[in-house]
Amino acid sequence: PEIGGSEYLYVVHGLEKGEIPKPRPASELRNARFITEAIRRGLVLSVHDISTGGLAVAILEMAIAGGIGIDVDISNIICRGCSRADEMLFSETQARYVIEVDAKKVDELKALANEMNIDLSMLGKTVDNNVCKLTFKDKVLVQLDLGILKDVYENSLQRYIE
C-alpha cells in the first residue's frame, strides 16, 4: 500500500508525510493496454483511474457520474502487503483502474486479463437502490445515499466558499 503523501493522510489525519507512490511506467503501460483492448472489444461500460483519493474516491465518483448505487466488498482486492481497509481504500498506488463491466461479459474480461497477465479483482456490482455500500470482511464501512453523496461532491466547494 502507498498512502504516503495521500489525500487521506492529509485530510483525515492532518499529516503531510511518507513516501509518495512510486512511478510504475511498465505497469502503467501494460494496464493501459489492457484497458484499451477491453474497450476495443466492447467489454467495458465505464472505467476510472485510481489516483487522488484512491479506490474509494474512484468508485464513488463512478457511482455519482452513473447515477447508480453500488455494493462493493474490498476484501476481494488483490493487494500485496495490505491488511487494513483504509490502506485498500485510500492507497494512491499508480497504474490501477476501476472497470464497470456488464455481468454477461465478466468471463470475457477475466479471460482477457489472464491472456495479458493482468491482476484483476472483482469487487462488486451496481445496484438500483441508490445506495453506495462498501464492505470489508462482512463489515459495512460505508452505506450512504447516492443523492447525498452527489450533493456533497457537486456542491461542497461552493458551500465552503460561501
- DSSP secondary structure of 22-60: PP-HHHHHHHHHHHHHHHHTT--SEEEE--TTHHHHHHH
pLDDT given at position 38? 98
- Does the pLDDT at position 100 exceed 80? yes
- Does the pLDDT at position 19 exceed 80? no
For 144, phi then psi, to 5°, come to -130, 150
Question: In the structure grid, which three cell numbers stand for residue 151, read together?
Answer: 450533493
pLDDT range class, residue 82, cuts 50, 70, 90: confident
Report the relative pairing of strands 139-145 and 46-49 from DSSP bridges. unpaired
Mean pLDDT of the chain, nearest integer: 92
Cα distances (Å, whole numbers) of residue 1 to 5, 77, 102, 155:
12, 12, 29, 31
pLDDT range class, residue 33, cuts 50, 70, 90: very high
- Does the pLDDT at position 12 exceed 80? no
Question: Which residue blocks in 41-145 are alpha helix, DSSP H?
Answer: 54-66, 85-90, 106-115
DSSP 3-state of 78: coil
pLDDT range class, residue 80, cuts 50, 70, 90: confident
Whether 124 and 142 have beta carbons less than 8 Å apart is answered as: no
Taking residues 125-139, report their average pLDDT: 96
Whether 44 and 99 have beta carbons less than 8 Å apart is answered as: yes
One-letter amino acid for residue 20 of the chain: I
pLDDT given at position 7? 80
pLDDT range class, residue 97, cuts 50, 70, 90: very high
Question: In the structure grid, which three cell numbers stand for residue 129, read together?
Answer: 437502490
One-letter amino acid for residue 2 of the chain: E
- Does the pLDDT at position 8 exceed 80? no
Taking residues 14-21, report their average pLDDT: 78
pLDDT given at position 1? 61
